[in-house]
């Protein structure tokens, strides 16, 4: 890019600056920034550049799923106003329109967490025991909100190897005054009969309502489902993606491993995957900014968005 | 445009060939097999003749006249049809007489007009002899002109037929069980307030009349076969003796079956499945000279009845092509709108096809689309333009919804395949073949296991087509699939229809595959065109289904046990059922591959609402 703007460094910087920001939002912001500094002269050139930028972003060492879905939706949204774009006199005014729509989009993305909080007001009740896996910003926000409203509940957090994000989650919860215990990933089966509900985040929601999420989610959801514990997923609608994995072995490699491993030409068979796929049968409800959805409602929203 | 047409014709031809190749069409055999019956039924003939009014006699006399022109095959065929119709009219009139006196005048007219017509047709056939269908037709129409009644009376009669069918089973049941008064009462109750005894007597009379009429119709049907037999036996003599022996053996077995089948073919209502129409043994009667049923539609109907054209896609394409021919030949009468008149003309044709074989959901959708198009033609549009518009609409429908969609579905499905996948599929499916082809092109060598049902063994055609693709293929019967399930990685089938609730209607046996896949946690992939989506809900395979030929099940495998159950219809407590479809619940389906994208079953109502609301919401 011109002016020595590197989209991936900007993106990583964004992620560092605001820990509460979802990678999808950071990616969208990075795209906005490149749009601002862009010097394309035609719409076609611009769209080609945007796609290139998206490719660059997907090669950074973060969870690719939500970045890709965020970028996809962003491009979709800003170019949706075709009528308006065609009426624009020149590309400068076109860019104005795109920037305006982009701002709108980022704003709505940032508000989605608030909407999730609203839709999940009564999710946590007094005396509840909740199991969660890894560190989800949405789950953290909902729990904090419940604690602020004076709800008394306890939380079990899995350690969630390999990055031990569960430890961070426990620290965050404790700092908000929520009693919590870190358990081994392998102890889910032992603990699950003590809990009332399982609350999870997701990196991506597939068209059939299944989720792609941090490795181990499938284990937790499956065991909870077997013990008839409700599994609630807290997720923003910009993480909806238009694919259906048939099973875990059909997940694309770009989802499973981060870019540095894919590029290092290591034997992928011996590498640990980063994410897994949880089929919709194991999920009770999705709490999203669009409201509380059953898994079967995801496809309708996606079809509306993309056609 | 011309090229596309050529392509389409080629496609139709291809479909025909594929199906013909792999089907033992036993149509000629059937006719021969019926011959031995002649004697037994003829014994009954004298009994029935005195009670049945003139038509039967007249038909008999016509039969004599027909014998004179025995060698003129076409003539006989058509005369047969007319006669059969006369018989039906006769049956109807009987019913009407006992039921209500009102329609007697009309019936009388029909009765008199029918015999007249048969004679005439014979004459014309003699006169015209070996001419092509079309010129023949015009001549005939001219000759029958003095009796315009048949043309007008036919729709009415169809209605009568329709009315009759629901009543009949109920009455027959009563005949068997005597005690229960379920449907028959309700039906008769409409006739007015009569005393119970009166009603009972009336009903008995009616039943008696019906039985006699039916018997008469049967004797006629058998009689018609008589000359044919002579011809065929001549042919047999010429052919080698070995073949003859074989055939006669087959005949002997068949005749036994047919005999028992003819004694009470419609009486046997299988418990729970009584609402399904019995498979048609013969093509429904249609007036020879009428312009109501288009020749293309009639040919198609017979082909569908004999399963020469089978499979919903083939049926849809051939139906649309036949209806296109109808539109081609259609001329708007003066003082009539094209849209209104054509819709009226289409209706009996569609009904005819339905009588030959119950419509598949996909056909129903395609016909709805066509009706919708016809209805939406502006009244002031010139005829030529309107016909052009309809023709292009049909061509586009086939192109977009079937031809192009198939290749899109194939590529979508192929993208789900991984190298060294073992795919399990069921029976013959063009879409699955295309998918395998596309996967091979992508460089994914897949192994295919074709599970097949013993009757009909459509999977043989599938194996043959796959062999052409150089794909490693395994052929197994569906009873065997549990043994291979652990080696299978994906189960791929094609749907006949997809219901609003996501349930899949497939060929009978599909659900077994789905259950096996679910048990072994293998993805169950369903391929389907979106034009086969249907805005009905189905939860089981009983409510909406089609009965296949149960006799084929009994005779199916040619082993030592073949024919042991030939007389099953005489065994009181034995029911043989052959269902054509089954319904797989949405929960067993992993993904649905359509031309739009790879979808979960929960997307079905969304697709229906968005794409087909205008067409499907019509009736």
Q: Does the pLDDT of residue B388 top 90, yes or no? A: yes
The alpha carbon of B66 is separated from its chain's Cα centroid by a whole number of angstroms, namely: 29
Query: For A207-216, B46-55, B450-459, B468-477, which range has the lowest pLDDT when averaged over its residues?
Result: B46-55
Which residues of chain A are within 8 Å of residue B590 when distances are taken between CB atoms? 244, 246
Q: Does the pLDDT of residue A2 top 80, yes or no? A: no
CA distances (Å), A125 to each of A120, A154, A235, in order? Answer: 11, 11, 20
pLDDT at A191 (0 to 100):
94
The domain limits of chain B are 30-174+194-253, 295-405, 418-545+580-608
pLDDT at B292 (0 to 100):
82
H-helix or E-strand containing B584?
strand B581-584
Residue among A244, A249, A297 minimizing CB distance to B591: A244
**For testing contact with chain A, the best of B603, B605, B607, B611 (most A CBs within 10 A):** B603
- Pairing type for strands A180-183 and B598-599 reads unpaired
As beta bridge partners, residue B474 has B449
Q: Give the ipTM of the model, two decimals please.
A: 0.89
Q: What count of residues does chain B have?
A: 619
Q: Does the pLDDT of residue B159 top 80, yes or no? A: no
Q: Which CATH superfamily is domain A2-115 in?
A: Translation initiation factor eIF-2B, N-terminal domain (1.20.120.1070)
**Distance in Å, alpha carbon of B606 to nearest chain A alpha carbon:** 6
8 Å CB contact of A299 and B610: no
Question: What whole-number distance in Å separates Cα of residue B550 and Cα of residue B575?
Answer: 9
CATH 1.20.120.1070-classified regions of chain A: 2-115
The alpha carbon of A165 is separated from its chain's Cα centroid by a whole number of angstroms, namely: 15
Higher pLDDT, B52 or B11: B11
Architecture of domain B418-545+580-608: 3-Layer(aba) Sandwich (3.40)
End-to-end CA distance of chain A: 32
Question: What whole-number distance in Å separates Cα of residue B606 and Cα of residue B612?
Answer: 10
Is B419's Cβ below 8 Å from some Cβ in A? no
Is B586's Cβ below 8 Å from some Cβ in A? no
8 Å CB contact of A244 and B606: no
pLDDT at A29 (0 to 100):
86
pLDDT above 70 covers what percent of chain B? 56
Tokens of A73: 């939706």
Residue of A nearest to B605 (CA): A300
Residue among A208, A243, A303 minimizing CB distance to B606: A303
Contact in structure between A202 and A212 (CB atoms under 8 Å): yes
- For A166-188, b/e burial (b = at least 16 CB within 10 A) is bebbbebbeeeebebebbebeeb
pLDDT in tens, B22-71: 444 444 444 434 444 444 434 444 444 344 344 434 444 444 445 444 55
Is B607's Cβ below 8 Å from some Cβ in A? yes
Between the ranges A10-14, B83-87, B367-371, where is the mean pLDDT highest? Answer: B367-371
Identical fold, B295-405 and B418-545+580-608: no
Contact in structure between B508 and B453 (CB atoms under 8 Å): yes
As beta bridge partners, residue B473 has B448
> How crowded is residue B166: how many other Cβ atoms within 10 Å of its Cβ?
11
CA atoms B401, B403, B408, B409: torsion sign: positive
Higher pLDDT, A38 or B103: A38
Higher pLDDT, B281 or B162: B281
Higher pLDDT, B256 or A136: A136
Mean pLDDT confidence for A56-61: 81
Mean pLDDT confidence for B201-227: 66
Architecture of domain A120-306: 3-Layer(aba) Sandwich (3.40)
pLDDT at A68 (0 to 100):
86
pLDDT at B450 (0 to 100):
96
**Distance in Å, alpha carbon of B277 to nearest chain A alpha carbon:** 36
pLDDT at B617 (0 to 100):
55
Contact in structure between B580 and B508 (CB atoms under 8 Å): yes
Longest dimension (CA), chain A: 65
**For testing contact with chain B, the best of A205, A206, A208, A243 (most B CBs within 10 A):** A208
Which residues of chain A are within 8 Å of residue B602 when distances are taken between CB atoms? 208-209, 295-297, 299-300
Quick one: pLDDT band at residue B303, thresholds 50, 70, 90?
very high
Phi, psi of B448 (to 5 degrees): -120, 130
pLDDT at A61 (0 to 100):
76
Residue among B418, B590, B603 minimizing CB distance to A303: B603
**Distance in Å, alpha carbon of A297 to nearest chain B alpha carbon:** 7
Tokens of B321: 């092509």
pLDDT at B218 (0 to 100):
61
Conformational region of residue B311, where left means phi above 0, alpha means psi within -120 to 50, and beta covers everything else? left
Mean pLDDT confidence for B185-195: 46
Is B525's Cβ below 8 Å from some Cβ in A? yes
Helix axes B73-99, B104-128, angle to 10 degrees: 180
The alpha carbon of B131 is separated from its chain's Cα centroid by a whole number of angstroms, namely: 29
pLDDT in tens, B537-587: 999 988 899 988 888 877 766 666 767 777 787 888 888 888 999 999 999
Return the ∠ at Cα B258 (arms to B234 and B314), rounded to 5°: 90
Residue of B nearest to A302 (CA): B603
pLDDT at B152 (0 to 100):
37
Q: Does the pLDDT of residue A76 top 90, yes or no? A: no
pTM for the whole structure? 0.70
Mean pLDDT confidence for B85-107: 44
Question: What whole-number distance in Å separates Cα of residue A44 and Cα of residue A52?
Answer: 12
Which residues of chain B are within 8 Å of residue A246 when distances are taken between CB atoms? 416, 490, 523, 525, 590-591
Mean pLDDT confidence for B428-445: 92
pLDDT at B291 (0 to 100):
73
**Distance in Å, alpha carbon of A22 to nearest chain B alpha carbon:** 27
pLDDT at A245 (0 to 100):
93
**For testing contact with chain B, the best of A280, A299, A304 (most B CBs within 10 A):** A299
Mean pLDDT confidence for B326-331: 90
Which residues of chain B are within 8 Å of residue A307 when distances are taken between CB atoms? 610
Higher pLDDT, B150 or A57: A57
8 Å CB contact of A299 and B525: no
Longest dimension (CA), chain B: 79
Q: What is the DSSP string of B137-192?
A: HHHHHHHHTT--HHHHHHHHHHHHHHHHHHHHHHHHHHHHHSS--SHHHHHHHTT-
Residue among A247, A299, A307 minimizing CB distance to B600: A299
Residue among B523, B602, B606 minimizing CB distance to A247: B523
Which residues of chain A are within 8 Å of residue B490 when distances are taken between CB atoms? 246
Contact in structure between A306 and A77 (CB atoms under 8 Å): no
Q: Does the pLDDT of residue A232 top 60, yes or no? A: yes
Quick one: pLDDT band at residue A83, thresholds 50, 70, 90?
low
As beta bridge partners, residue B491 has B424, B524
pLDDT at B201 (0 to 100):
76
pLDDT at A7 (0 to 100):
81
pLDDT, chain B, mean = 71
Quick one: pLDDT band at residue B77, thresholds 50, 70, 90?
low
Q: Does the pLDDT of residue B234 top 50, yes or no? A: no
CA atoms B150, B154, B160, B161: torsion sign: positive
Q: Does the pLDDT of residue B209 top 80, yes or no? A: no
Architecture of domain B295-405: Up-down Bundle (1.20)
> How crowded is residue B601: how many other Cβ atoms within 10 Å of its Cβ?
25
Q: Does the pLDDT of residue A36 top 60, yes or no? A: yes
């Amino acid at each position: 890019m011109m002016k020595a703007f590197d989209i991936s460094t900007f993106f990583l910087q964004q992620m560092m600056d605001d820990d509460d920001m979802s990678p999808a939002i950071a990616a969208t912001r990075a795209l906005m920034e490149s749009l601002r500094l862009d010097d394309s002269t035609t719409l076609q050139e611009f769209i080609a550049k945007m796609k290139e930028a998206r490719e660059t972003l997907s090669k950074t060492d973060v969870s690719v799923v939500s970045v890709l879905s965020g970028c996809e939706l962003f491009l979709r949204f800003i170019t949706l106003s075709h009528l308006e774009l065609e009426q624009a006199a020149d590309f400068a005014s076109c860019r104005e329109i795109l920037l305006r729509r982009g701002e709108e989009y980022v704003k709505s993305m940032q508000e989605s967490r608030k909407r999730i909080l609203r839709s999940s007001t009564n999710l946590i009740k007094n005396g509840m025991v909740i199991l969660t896996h890894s560190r989800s910003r949405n789950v953290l926000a909902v729990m904090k909100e419940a604690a602020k409203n004076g709800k008394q509940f306890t939380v079990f957090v899995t350690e969630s190897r390999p990055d031990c994000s569960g430890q961070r989650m426990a620290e965050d919860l404790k700092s908000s005054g929520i009693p919590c215990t870190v358990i081994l990933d392998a102890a889910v089966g032992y603990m699950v009969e003590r809990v009332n509900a399982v609350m999870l985040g997701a990196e991506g929601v597939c068209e059939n309502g299944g989720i792609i999420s941090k490795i181990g989610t499938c284990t937790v959801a499956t065991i909870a489902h077997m013990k008839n514990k409700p599994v609630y997923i807290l997720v923003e609608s910009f993480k909806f993606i238009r694919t259906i994995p048939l099973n875990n072995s059909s997940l694309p490699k770009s989802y499973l491993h981060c870019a540095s491993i894919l590029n290092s030409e290591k034997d992928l068979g011996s590498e640990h995957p980063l994410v897994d796929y949880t089929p919709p049968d194991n999920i009770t409800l999705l709490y999203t900014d669009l409201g509380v959805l059953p898994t079967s409602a995801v496809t309708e929203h996606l079809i509306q968005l993309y056609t | 445009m011309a090229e596309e047409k050529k392509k389409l014709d080629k496609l139709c031809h291809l479909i025909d060939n594929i199906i013909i190749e792999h089907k033992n069409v036993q149509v000629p055999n059937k006719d021969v097999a019926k011959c031995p019956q002649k004697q037994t039924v003829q014994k009954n003939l004298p009994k029935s003749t005195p009670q049945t009014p003139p038509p039967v006699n007249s038909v008999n006399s016509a039969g004599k006249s027909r014998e004179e022109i025995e060698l003129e095959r076409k003539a006989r065929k058509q005369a047969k049809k007319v006669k059969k119709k006369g018989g039906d009219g006769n049956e109807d009139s009987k019913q009407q007489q006992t039921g209500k006196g009102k329609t007697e005048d009309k019936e009388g007219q029909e009765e008199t007009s029918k015999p007249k017509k048969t004679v005439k047709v014979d004459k014309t056939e003699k006169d015209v002899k070996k001419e092509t269908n079309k010129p023949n037709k015009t001549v005939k129409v001219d000759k029958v002109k003095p009796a315009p009644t048949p043309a007008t009376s036919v729709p009415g009669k169809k209605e009568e037929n329709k009315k009759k069918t629901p009543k009949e089973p109920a009455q027959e049941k009563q005949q068997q069980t005597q005690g229960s008064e379920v449907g028959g009462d309700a039906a008769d109750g409409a006739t007015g307030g009569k005393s119970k005894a009166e009603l009972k007597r009336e009903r008995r009379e009616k039943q008696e009349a019906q039985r006699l009429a039916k018997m008469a119709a049967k004797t006629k049907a058998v009689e018609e076969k008589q000359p044919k037999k002579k011809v065929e036996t001549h042919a047999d003599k010429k052919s080698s003796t070995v073949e003859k022996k074989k055939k006669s053996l087959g005949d002997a077995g068949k005749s036994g079956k047919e005999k028992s089948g003819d004694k009470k073919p419609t009486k046997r209502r299988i418990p729970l499945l009584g609402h399904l129409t019995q498979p048609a043994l013969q093509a429904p009667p249609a007036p020879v000279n009428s312009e109501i049923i288009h020749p293309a539609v009639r040919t198609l109907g017979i082909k569908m009845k004999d399963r020469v054209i089978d499979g919903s896609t083939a049926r849809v394409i051939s139906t649309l092509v036949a209806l296109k021919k109808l539109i081609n030949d259609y001329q708007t009468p003066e003082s009539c709108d094209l849209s209104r008149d054509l819709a009226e003309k289409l209706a009996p044709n569609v009904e005819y096809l339905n009588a030959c074989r119950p419509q598949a959901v996909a056909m129903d959708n395609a016909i709805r689309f066509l009706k919708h198009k016809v209805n939406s033609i502006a009244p002031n549009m010139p005829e030529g333009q309107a016909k052009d518009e309809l023709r292009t609409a049909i061509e586009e429908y086939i192109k977009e919804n079937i031809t192009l969609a198939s290749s899109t579905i194939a590529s979508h499905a192929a993208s789900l395949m991984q190298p060294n996948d073992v795919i399990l599929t069921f029976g013959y499916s063009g879409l699955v073949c295309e998918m395998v082809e596309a996967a091979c092109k992508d460089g994914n060598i897949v192994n295919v296991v074709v599970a097949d049902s013993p009757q009909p063994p459509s999977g043989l055609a599938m194996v043959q087509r796959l062999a052409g693709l150089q794909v490693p293929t395994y052929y197994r019967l569906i009873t065997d699939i549990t043994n291979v399930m652990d080696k299978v990685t994906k189960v791929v089938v094609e749907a006949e229809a997809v219901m609003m609730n996501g349930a899949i209607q497939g060929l009978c046996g599909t659900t077994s595959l789905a259950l096996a896949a679910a048990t072994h946690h293998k993805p169950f992939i369903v391929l389907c065109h979106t034009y086969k989506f249907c805005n009905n809900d189905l939860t089981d395979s009983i409510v909406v289904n089609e009965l296949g030929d149960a006799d084929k099940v009994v005779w199916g495998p040619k082993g030592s046990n073949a024919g042991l159950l030939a007389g099953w219809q005489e065994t009181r407590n034995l029911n043989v059922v052959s269902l054509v479809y089954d319904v797989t619940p949405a929960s067993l389906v992993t993904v649905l591959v359509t031309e739009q994208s790879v979808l979960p079953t929960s997307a079905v109502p969304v697709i229906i609402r968005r794409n087909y609301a205008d067409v499907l919401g019509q009736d």
